[in-house]
Chain A
Amino acid sequence: MTVEESDLVLVKRVQRGDKSAFDLLVRKYQHKVVKLVLRYVRNPAEAEDIAQEAFIKAYRALPQFRGDSAFYTWMYRIAINTAKNQLASRDRSPIAYDLDLTDPEESHSVQTKLQDPDTPEGMALTEEIRGIVNSAIEGLPEELKTAIVLRELDGLSYEEIAAAMECPVGTVRSRIFRAREAIDKRLREVFEGGLGRTEEMV
């Protein structure tokens, strides 16, 4: 089974009435979609708003999704269209004409607001999570580290990783799982309640 087929299982559950299956898809792809939208808008908060809107649009259009393409490919297109529409509507917005960009002080303030609206707390937490993950990775045995890196960074399939590491596919599956478990354990230790606690902190 491929990622596409695995996603399709969840998509079909949504189409049969299981709303929570859509939540799993959102959780899986939210960061990728935000990253994608950040190519169009610099403001991370705005990118999150657009990603949210794109996911809502996707949910409402899901009855028409027939699985001809991968869910993420379809989602990718929706996100790009939503971002482009957002940019177009912003261009049409009369607020832009109210700004006096010739005034250096006001211009600097606007640019700052548009480009860097992140709260320091949010960014600090993100950096903390990255630090935990990276430190957990460093502490892994070499075969686990290699397996998870080939999967997450290089996007290789289990079969490709098995060929690269000269081991059975089952071993690859086990190594990736063990690597994730080790990292997840560190994350849980730090945040105690898991991501729910993390969200509250954000």
Chain B
Amino acid sequence: MKDERPEDRSQEDMGGSRQVERDSQLSAMFDGELASAECELLARRLTRDDALRGQWSRYALIGSALRAERGVKLHDKVARRVQSALTQDPAYGDSSSADVAAISTRSSSDAASASLDSRWMRFARPVVGASIAAGVAAVSILWLRTQGPEPELLASAPAGESIVLTAQATDTAADTIIAQAVQPQPESPPVSNGEPERYSTPAPSSQTNMAPPAHFANYVVAHSEYSGPLARRLALLGIVGTESQTDEELEADAAAGAATQGAVQGGVQGGVRGDIDNAP
């Protein structure tokens, strides 16, 4: 015979009363009548305790049986089939935070990919955007640095004499005026602070054929007072680039005819390219 000690009996009673209380909570939770905090704790317990889950199922069964739902078979077949079908589906979110150790199968189904992608994209998007912007800026700076000696020019020029605007006359002198930043020359003394910008008329040269129209050049000069050298250069390059044919080309076209047009265009392109290369 086994003697049952009073303390063992009291522990059993405590365990039994705890179980009764837990079952009572389960019943209340099933009806949505359990306090929120208790509900969270019991939900956590439910995910681990098979016996409790079975009880949960039977509570559902009792309700269905009482309601005598016509045509509804009282079994767990649907639940079992759903559970089986979802074994290949991934769990959502961070399973460790939900106290689930058993969930380990993660497949590459659409839902999981979408969830993962959205989380990844949330962090990656700004980084990728910033990288692209930085890359474009770096390429632009490198490209502009290869176009001319302006930074050196600016660095070597004395203060107050850094940029002198001169006007270069073309064959038809009044037609074209180009704003060009050059080193100060003896015949065109540097502009001191406070003095108006100076325009000079240099001797005609072959390069003047690539000069932009006077109204474009004047516009740039008038509006480049406060712009930086890079911006001014870009504007001038744009003007020169749009000047597709010069007077010489037209003459060459007339002389050589259509047969030589390709060669003339090649020369023009070379001239334009050279212009860009030599642009201030």
Contact = CB atoms under 8 A, between A and B. Distances in A.
A110 interface: no
Given A13-B47, A35-B69, A24 B33 contact: no
Interface residues of B, number: 69
Interface string B69-83: 111111111111111
11 contacts: A17-B96, A20-B47, A44-B72, A44-B73, A48-B77, A157-B33, A173-B27, A176-B27, A181-B27, A184-B59, A198-B76
The secondary-structure label for the interface of chain A is helix
B39 A9 contact: yes
A30 B98 contact: no
A19 B86 contact: yes
Nearest to B44: A13
Interface of B: 23-24, 27-36, 39-40, 43-44, 46-47, 53-83, 85-86, 89, 91-100, 102-103, 109-111, 114-115
A26 B67 CA distance: 18
Given A20-B47, A62-B92, A180-B62, A30 B76 contact: yes
Contacts of A92: none
A202 B77 contact: yes
Nearest to A58: B82
Nearest to B68: A130
B56 A27 contact: yes
B41 to A, nearest CB: 10
Contact of A24 (B28, B53, B65): B53
Nearest to B46: A24
B32 A6 contact: yes
A7 B60 CA distance: 14
A18 B99 contact: yes
